Amino acid sequence: MQSLQTQSRRRRPKRSRIEAGGSGAGAYLSKAVARALDVLDCFSDRHPNLTLKEIGRLLPMPESSLFRILVTLEARGYLKLNPDGSYELAPKVLFGRLHERAERLRRLAHPLLQKLATRFDETASLAYLFEDKIQVLDTVESLQTIRFTNTPGRVLPPHCSSLGKAITAFQPLERVERILEVYGLFRRTENSITDRSALLAEFEEIRRRGYACDREESVSGGVCFGAPVRAGETPVVAAVSVSVPVVRLTPEREAEMIEAVRQTGREIALALDGAEASNL
């Protein structure tokens, strides 16, 4: 034990200078590694695919040096080369980025989620698309004795939950098929849609009207309204919802909830757009 403590004391000064970012930190930084990381940082939700020339316009370095970095990152599995010559982040990098983006979204959306839940005193939730699975990202529960709950991390059905449908409906058909295959069209209640053609028709209707409904399709006695978060030109990867027991739902309240959840989706998208703009 004593030898470990002595070793720790001997190594700490060098590490602490680097972590503190003091004047001595620059001496330990690798320019080659920094440039490779700069290349990876060029890829974003708005620009998931970039060519060598497009990256060259973002980074001030010789094209020959940039080419070697791209080839190296591809060879080591950090970038993927597409048939059209563009690059995109490889899965092992993208998975970490997904969680980073999801956490940024959660922080931005939470106050708006709280506002939605407080307005109706009903449970409001936020979901995110991780790879081909839709999971609850955040939830603010109602204070009512009878209420619906959601747990962050829970995987949502794409065919019978409003959050799942609101996200899946806006994906390319190829990805829709993958999402449905991953989860399966299982019947959760007698109202669940398990026919593929009927579900695709509903997805088309969701795209047209801008929101999704779960009318006792995943849980008996519960209705949920969900809307996609459509930020700029980026793909839809998130949705927001409000859940209410059937016994507390009236036609007037339903119309108000649908408009409120759509508005919340728009407000979250604006917050995302603003955060992206500030990072440019």
What pLDDT score was predicted for residue 232?
78
- The partner residues of 89 in beta bridges, in order of sequence, read 79
Mean pLDDT highest for which of 23-37, 118-132, 264-278?
118-132
Residue whose pair of structure tokens reads 């930020």 in the numeric block: 231
SS3 content of the chain, % helix, strand, coil (to 5): 50, 15, 30
CB of 91 closer than 8 Å to CB of 61:
no
Compute φ and ψ for 79, nearest 5 degrees. -130, 155
| CA pair distance 121, 243, nearest whole angstrom | 10
| CA pair distance 202, 11, nearest whole angstrom | 62
The model's pTM is 0.71
pLDDT at 138 > cutoff 50: yes
| CA pair distance 271, 235, nearest whole angstrom | 16
- Per-residue pLDDT band for 189 (boundaries 50, 70, 90) equals very high
Give the fold, CATH level 3, of 2-89: Arc Repressor Mutant, subunit A (1.10.10)
Domain(s) labelled CATH 3.30.450.40 in the chain stretch across 93-278
- For a pLDDT cut of 90, what percent of the chain falls above it? 66
Show the tokens assigned to 254: 């339903």
What average pLDDT does the structure give for the chain? 87
Give the fold, CATH level 3, of 93-278: Beta-Lactamase (3.30.450)
The string of pLDDT tens digits covering residues 5-47 is 433 344 444 444 444 444 455 667 788 899 999 998 898 777 8
- The partner residues of 1 in beta bridges, in order of sequence, read none
pLDDT at 158 > cutoff 70: yes
- Lowest-confidence region among 39-48, 181-190, 204-213: 39-48
CB of 117 closer than 8 Å to CB of 242:
yes
- Per-residue pLDDT band for 170 (boundaries 50, 70, 90) equals very high
Give the burial class of 52: count Cβ atoms within 10 A of its Cβ; 0-12 exposed, 13-18 middle, 19 or more buried.
middle
Q: Report the pLDDT averaged over residues 160-186.
A: 95
In DSSP notation, 53-101 reads: HHHHHHS-S-HHHHHHHHHHHHHTTSEEE-TTS-EEE-HHHHHHHHHHH
Please state, as a whole number, how many other Cβ atoms lie within 10 Å of the Cβ of residue 204: 10
Within 8 A by CB and 6+ apart from 276, the residues are 44, 45, 46, 231, 232
The H-or-E segment that residue 127 falls in is strand 123-130
Q: Can you give the C-alpha Rg of the chain in angstroms?
A: 23
Between 170 and 280, where is the model more confident?
Answer: 170
| CA pair distance 42, 51, nearest whole angstrom | 11
Please state, as a whole number, how many other Cβ atoms lie within 10 Å of the Cβ of residue 41: 10
Give the burial class of 159: count Cβ atoms within 10 A of its Cβ; 0-12 exposed, 13-18 middle, 19 or more buried.
buried
The string of pLDDT tens digits covering residues 59-115 is 988 999 999 999 999 999 889 999 999 999 887 777 777 788 899 999 999 999 999
